[in-house]
Structure 1
């Protein structure tokens, strides 16, 4: 199993990025500096920070020239004032764990004493003082006390602040917030000078897990209080989360006004470094290296070599990630002088090779839908190992149980949950047969690269086609129900499709349902494919689900039937089950359009209705030539 946490083992070939950032922190010309390490959630930002920290420690083992501190933003989520919490945490870490600051504990205590920003923050909230905009850029955002408060109110605020600071007289006419920031920055800068270090590197992680308010407070703490000479801050965050937080705190004044978020980020982050999204081949290699990490020996110092390091050195030496080469078992074998059980921490060689083979085949399919995300890759493997362990308990006497089939079914579950559930229904319906005939049909057609017939058009997606052609290819000949039993938490057939819609998809779905004008909902349905922000198939599935419950939505099925031929079979199944009283002159026009779009395919629906006694005048309208 793999925990959802950072690693000091570079399975993602991030060492060049780590080396780059380490070199930047050693360049005295580039401080004070704030680096933005941008990457999507799960992209490996925390692991990259660990690699940088490791490099810095190796560069200065004494910790007297380069001091590296790691802070987790999420830890401060519950504080009233995250700014003061972060600043105090940094100072206490310097006092408790850093040799360079061993003789400066009194100065640190004095500075911690000066940070009573919890009270100062409460004072600001109490009086509604706009802390940030009065300090971050006074030239452009002059939100000072003198502009916003009366003389009496200003005196009241100053008295509160004097009690908090308990240090020196503060003149009323002075911008108090800026003065307090200046005092702290000076004392913090003096502390670093006395330590005689070359640079203080502060890594701030997990910022994209925090609320928008905490994101802003953390950025402000860095910019206003802590960014002084001989400091480098590395802030790991999803850039989109940061932009959202800024827009949430400082929304546009008018629709046409300038977006403030980009300017704000530019003022905070001097050097943005983006972690590129991993390619499909990168993710395949990552999945396989995770398997290697699970089995290969990590070594015992002075006794046994670290076999994983040997393999990773081979990966780096051959530029596997740079050249876009997929790792295979022969490559793994070539990394070792002696390839046998001695290289393993657990299990036998044949067990390792079998697992490597299963994940190797599955990775060809699963990599395409993990969106270059290492965390999702770990989660897939963790889910597989959990189900594998359950299978070993449930089916320990079943020698026919094939873990490759389990892995392939899980890949389908990740690719398209609706098709996964459809295959489950096929498996149930074909229990008495030797084969799952529907799966056999679409597998053979896909293997020949032919076009799927209308009733199976939902399986024509490129990822699904790759899944159908992947090993084990003879899935239709297997008893899949025992494998589905291990995935039954995903098979709640009673769960509504609309419940799985995202925010943007739900808005479109509701707009279609609520629309009364045919021209409006028809256009919405026709244009669904063009909207790149949604998964349009989920909306269409939800619409058909609603149609099954409410035949009054028949007219809205007309544009769906005409524009999306892959859904015709499912719509026709619903039409055949409708009561004959629901097929009338009011709905005949919509049905006529469906008939005209697909006369041969619609003939079985017409036959079903005529067998039930459909009125001739209604039938004439449906089959009339336009």
Structure 2
């Protein structure tokens, strides 16, 4: 069973305390304007927390919760106006029988229309720093204000909204030339009156997916929120990755002088807007194991009755995860009356793969859920094709960990398979794990370990430390025919291998892979500023663009991007050599030989020479042979 990748009111992760804290804060500050931020990476559980907050107020007739998804209105010209109109429409719907509410709503919308005119005539009515337009802009607004809404109540039908967005001139009363501050004060006063007439004690606006929006939409939505900062009884809960919002601020105002420290300016903008920030916590190892057990139990077909009884057991254990108690076989069996086989399978698998999955997914619930969904999908495909009996879930899950978090390990294993589908590399890795798990003879500590010596299969691998940890997962693969597992993983090229972070990381990948000139022009500082994890993400994204290319005869722009990246990040150079080595010798162009001097560096020059020697001795690609031979004889090798 595939688990829907969207927000849920079922609290798998015991995020309810966060939602309850937000609810309590809103109730305590019910008469004050309030803005609350729910921060966290994509998939951290922000949307689910918003849903819990909304449900907490669902039975309160004097509280209105309005959900607004900025991403849904990405294509609109004025996201700021759309947000305000959405709020007004929700108020009218809440008190649809009141004529006074409709009339006051029309008054509020007149101010919204004024802001639209400002945008139409001369750009945004509110400037970033003061919110006040220039005198010329105000004059232009006054000159453009020629019409009057003949029947203000029709504004609630949406027809007027469409006309305004299409550039219609019927916006405000003829001759009005109020200044922006006057209009802002009028808007706030009219909106406060609207709340009184609607008999609403608290308006709560829940804004979601703002970090998925383009910078223009994100900033327009935040500017709309800013209009409400002094409106009593209006509370906004904004769910977004604060890093993405800072990026939107920097992108939307690119002309800030260098001396103003754009990064600090963006952070200050967000901090002035958000009064109370909450950070959605990343999952630790215990939390990941419990979450993983719940998800796998579902995909294995655990009944709804048993699952509903299992949730309180998980939540009780999550109250104090540092104790790691309360979610074991005995406790579950006591709560459910027996231990369902689905839960037994889930407990066993979760125990084995949690350490690697926790680090790889960085405690992100969505990444964990997608891992489980991909695992279940592949098993289902195998079932439909008639070879489900050839697959064991623990074996597939272990291979998928390598596929997702260390693709170079996964690819090396795939290339290493012998005729019966077994891998010498896996045998060595698991052999090392077995050796390192035993103490030395006469050792006082049971944690000390020795490493086997002599084999060169994996000792020069990039990411060897990760591979060692992976090998310690107790599910043994060394004696397994892995051919059906790799067969069912053929979707890798279009799924997990291309999973990269959106936003700034995605933009960087595009810059490094669009053109050779653009890749070579990327500032070194931007590459040095990447975290180690993000640098690896960029590397794997560029690698995927190269390995997935239909024609490797000519040099892909992503190759220059990789060269630029690795010249700044020496820790990626081993992975670069591994990538070059696994490109298909028979079809790759001679470009693979040149242009890697700074990327390889002096330290890795000997390994690159070995690769050149390999290419110069092969006979499947004559051009590659000749160019590699020439490059190998060049005095420049290892000195660039």
CA distance in 1, matches of 2:506, 2:22: 37
Residue 621 of structure 1: aligned partner: none
Structure 1 pair 164–326 and aligned structure 2 pair: CA distance change class (3 A): farther
Residue 239 of structure 2: aligned partner: 236
CA distance in 1, matches of 2:574, 2:56: 47
Shift of 1:508: 7.4
5+ residue gaps, structure 2, are 150-168, 437-450, 522-561, 619-623
Paired residue total: 544
Residue 362 of structure 1: aligned partner: 353
Higher Cα radius of gyration: 1
The 5-angstrom pairing of residues 134-145 of structure 1 reads 138=130, 142-144=132-134
CA distance in 2, matches of 1:585, 1:383: 44
The 5-angstrom pairing of residues 201-220 of structure 1 reads 201-220=204-223
5+ residue gaps, structure 1, are 300-306, 341-348, 516-520, 595-626
Shift of 1:287: 1.4
- Provide Cα deviations, 1:83-112, integer angstroms capped at 9, x if missing partner: 22222222222332x3xx355354135414
Instruction: Please point out which of 399, 406, 419 is paired with 1:409.
Output: 399
TM-score of the superposition, structure 1-length normalised?
0.75
Residue 615 of structure 1: aligned partner: none
Residue 75 of structure 2: aligned partner: 78
Residue 426 of structure 2: aligned partner: 439
- Provide Cα deviations, 1:250-281, integer angstroms capped at 9, x if missing partner: 12432222323123213321111111222233
Contact 1:66/1:201 (8 A) holds in 2: yes
Shift of 1:414: 0.7
Structure 1 pair 359–143 and aligned structure 2 pair: CA distance change class (3 A): same
Range 579-588 or range 185-194, more displaced? 579-588
The 5-angstrom pairing of residues 50-199 of structure 1 reads 50-57=51-58, 61=59, 63-96=60-93, 98=94, 101=95, 104=98, 106-108=100-102, 110-112=104-106, 114-115=108-109, 120=114, 123-133=117-127, 138=130, 142-144=132-134, 146=135, 148=136, 153=140, 155-159=142-146, 164-167=170-173, 170=176, 172=177, 174-175=178-179, 177-199=180-202
Contact 1:114/1:165 (8 A) holds in 2: no
Residue 555 of structure 2: aligned partner: none
Q: What secondary structure is seen at the aligned counterpart in 2 of 1:233?
A: strand
Corresponding position: 1:313 with 2:312? yes
For the aligned residues, what is the CA RMSD?
A: 4.0
Residue 265 of structure 1: aligned partner: 270
Structure 1 pair 389–557 and aligned structure 2 pair: CA distance change class (3 A): same
Q: What secondary structure is seen at the aligned counterpart in 2 of 1:256?
A: helix
CA distance in 2, matches of 1:587, 1:514: 26
Shift of 1:363: 2.8
Shift of 1:317: 3.2
Structure 1 pair 326–541 and aligned structure 2 pair: CA distance change class (3 A): farther
- Provide Cα deviations, 1:562-590, integer angstroms capped at 9, x if missing partner: 33888786565335437478546983545
CA distance in 1, matches of 2:379, 2:480: 18
Range 86-95 or range 15-24, more displaced? 86-95
Corresponding position: 1:44 with 2:45? yes
Contact 2:146/2:173 (8 A) holds in 1: no
Q: What secondary structure is seen at the aligned counterpart in 1 of 2:260?
A: coil
Shift of 1:5: 1.0
Shift of 1:235: 0.7
- Provide Cα deviations, 1:304-359, integer angstroms capped at 9, x if missing partner: xxx4444333333344553262775515524515126xxxxxxxx32442244234
Structure 1 pair 109–485 and aligned structure 2 pair: CA distance change class (3 A): farther
Residue 525 of structure 2: aligned partner: none
Residue 603 of structure 2: aligned partner: 562
Residue 484 of structure 1: aligned partner: 486
Shift of 1:200: 1.6
Q: What secondary structure is seen at the aligned counterpart in 2 of 1:458?
A: coil
Q: What secondary structure is seen at the aligned counterpart in 1 of 2:37?
A: strand
Contact 2:36/2:274 (8 A) holds in 1: yes
Shift of 1:14: 1.0
Structure 1 pair 105–25 and aligned structure 2 pair: CA distance change class (3 A): farther
Residue 446 of structure 2: aligned partner: none
The 5-angstrom pairing of residues 181-580 of structure 1 reads 181-225=184-228, 228-259=231-262, 260-294=265-299, 295-299=301-305, 307-319=306-318, 322-323=321-322, 325=324, 329-330=328-329, 333-334=332-333, 336=335, 338-339=337-338, 349-396=340-387, 399-427=389-417, 430-431=418-419, 435-449=422-436, 450=451, 455-456=457-458, 457-458=460-461, 460-473=463-476, 475-490=477-492, 504=508, 528-529=569-570, 539-541=576-578, 545=583, 549-550=589-590, 552-553=593-594, 556=597, 559-560=600-601, 562-563=603-604, 573-577=614-618, 579=625
Q: What secondary structure is seen at the aligned counterpart in 2 of 1:315?
A: helix
Contact 1:365/1:467 (8 A) holds in 2: yes
CA distance in 1, matches of 2:609, 2:326: 43
Structure 1 pair 161–565 and aligned structure 2 pair: CA distance change class (3 A): farther
CA distance in 2, matches of 1:73, 1:525: 37
Structure 1 pair 127–469 and aligned structure 2 pair: CA distance change class (3 A): same
Shift of 1:73: 1.6
CA distance in 2, matches of 1:553, 1:48: 52
Structure 1 pair 122–585 and aligned structure 2 pair: CA distance change class (3 A): closer
Contact 2:283/2:358 (8 A) holds in 1: no
TM-score of the superposition, structure 2-length normalised?
0.74
Q: What secondary structure is seen at the aligned counterpart in 2 of 1:336?
A: helix
Structure 1 pair 102–196 and aligned structure 2 pair: CA distance change class (3 A): same
Residue 11 of structure 2: aligned partner: 10
- Provide Cα deviations, 1:68-87, integer angstroms capped at 9, x if missing partner: 22222222222222222222
Structure 1 pair 383–109 and aligned structure 2 pair: CA distance change class (3 A): farther
CA distance in 2, matches of 1:392, 1:586: 51
Q: What secondary structure is seen at the aligned counterpart in 2 of 1:26?
A: helix
Structure 1 pair 8–48 and aligned structure 2 pair: CA distance change class (3 A): same
Shift of 1:382: 0.9
Structure 1 pair 234–507 and aligned structure 2 pair: CA distance change class (3 A): closer
Contact 2:83/2:221 (8 A) holds in 1: yes
Contact 1:561/1:568 (8 A) holds in 2: no
Q: What secondary structure is seen at the aligned counterpart in 2 of 1:67?
A: strand
